[in-house]
Structure 1
Amino acid sequence: MAKPKHSPPNGWDRFSITAEIHRQGMTFGELAKRAGITLKTFSQVWTRTNRRAEKAIASFLEVKPDDLWPDRYPIRSARILSSKHADRSASQKAGSHADRKAA
């Protein structure tokens, strides 16, 4: 494993990552095996976020995963607020009792 001499001028893309891995004498099959991931799951790194595969590739190339996939990092989590903790008056259905009486 040798660190790439320089990053590609237009940033890392699928083809430059693949080329650098092959330049260093490694295959995706061997990287997947070392990471303990099936090749099929490992190869989905191009279309889906797979943190284990991303980390294995970045580790092999001795770069940060953020450099390889800048659109996937930093990790953001969706914040879904639960209505379980809200009071009943905050619900849209709270006033429905008055509507039922009118009908």
Structure 2
Amino acid sequence: MMLRKSNWHPADIIAALRKRGTTLAAISREAGLSSSTLANALSRPWPKGEWIIANFLGIHPSEIWPSRYYDPMTGDLLERKVREKPKKIEETNELENREPEKEHI
């Protein structure tokens, strides 16, 4: 049987940030997010937010949220990545607004 580590309590995450002289709201704003956005990572899986918090604390997110990063059956570390941003709206509009090619008869 595997020894399972439990996720950090949200208050422990907030306390760790405070010990480093900052707040969850402050690092959220530094990341270009709304001040309350990173709080989502405390209550539900969100790789982007988890990585922002973990990087600030200087650890891997799996240390904070082992249940989100380890396979419960095998104990193997899961690869969880931040999704790529979708194409910019301007790029999409440029493609849509371009004149259609004329047919050669």
Name which of 22, 25, 29 aligns with 1:26: 22
Summarize deviations over 1:42-93 as a string: whole Å, max 9, x none: 11112221111111110010010011001111247xxxxxxxxxxxxxxxxx
- Quick check: which has more Rg, 1 or 2? 1
- RMSD of equivalent CA atoms: 2.2
Secondary structure, counterpart of 1:55 in structure 2: helix
Q: 1:45 to 1:57 in 2, by over 3 A?
A: same
Whole-Å separation in 2 of the counterparts to 1:39 and 1:60:
16
Paired residue type of 2:38: F
Larger RCO (CA under 8 A, 6+ residues apart): 1
Whole-Å separation in 1 of the counterparts to 2:55 and 2:16:
13
TM-score (norm. length: structure 1): 0.57
**Which runs of at least 4 in structure 1 moved beyond 3 Å after TM superposition?**
none
Query: Gapped runs of 5+ residues in structure 2?
Result: 1-5, 70-77, 81-105
